[in-house]
């Protein structure tokens, strides 16, 4: 049974930090690109960042470059998202996803999804 379980969301003031985790089971974690997407109220789900199987290659949305960092631990089947200098515009439900390619920026390309974790940034 495929499971992706996100954790670490919450309420934080602008300028603060959060670290999201996504623990995976039910498929070969190290074979997949892993990504984070987010969906704000009334908006479509959008790409945030992804990371290749080895962790050596990443892709970031322009809106989060320099503030967010993705990493993965294949021994723990877990992908992380360190979010610094958070802004109210970062408020959204954050989802982790398993992808085939680093170029899979479209949410429809995701193979598996987590249930999401809410991140709220107050001004």
Q: Mean pLDDT, the chain, as a whole number?
A: 97
- CA end-to-end span of the chain: 40
Residue 113 neighbours by CB distance under 10 Å = 16
Q: What is the pLDDT of residue 87?
A: 98
Residue 44: strand, helix, or coil: coil
Q: Please give the pLDDT value at position 55.
A: 95
Q: Consecutive 10-residue runs of the chain (123 residues): their mean pLDDT?
A: 97 98 97 98 97 97 98 98 98 98 96 98 97
pLDDT at 114: 98
**C-alpha–C-alpha distance, residues 108 and 5, integer Å:** 19
Give residue 27's pLDDT: 95
């Amino acid at each position: 049974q495929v499971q992706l379980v996100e954790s670490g969301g919450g309420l934080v003031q602008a300028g603060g930090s959060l670290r999201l985790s996504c623990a995976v089971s039910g498929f070969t974690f190290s074979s997949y690109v892993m990504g984070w997407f987010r969906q704000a109220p009334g908006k479509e789900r959008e790409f945030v960042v992804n990371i290749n199987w080895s962790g050596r290659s990443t892709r970031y949305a322009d809106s989060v470059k320099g503030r967010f960092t993705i990493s993965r631990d294949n021994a723990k089947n877990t992908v992380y998202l360190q979010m610094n200098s958070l802004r109210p515009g970062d408020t959204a439900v954050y989802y982790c996803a398993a992808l085939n390619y680093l170029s899979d920026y479209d949410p429809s390309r995701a193979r598996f999804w987590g249930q999401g974790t809410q991140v709220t940034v107050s001004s």
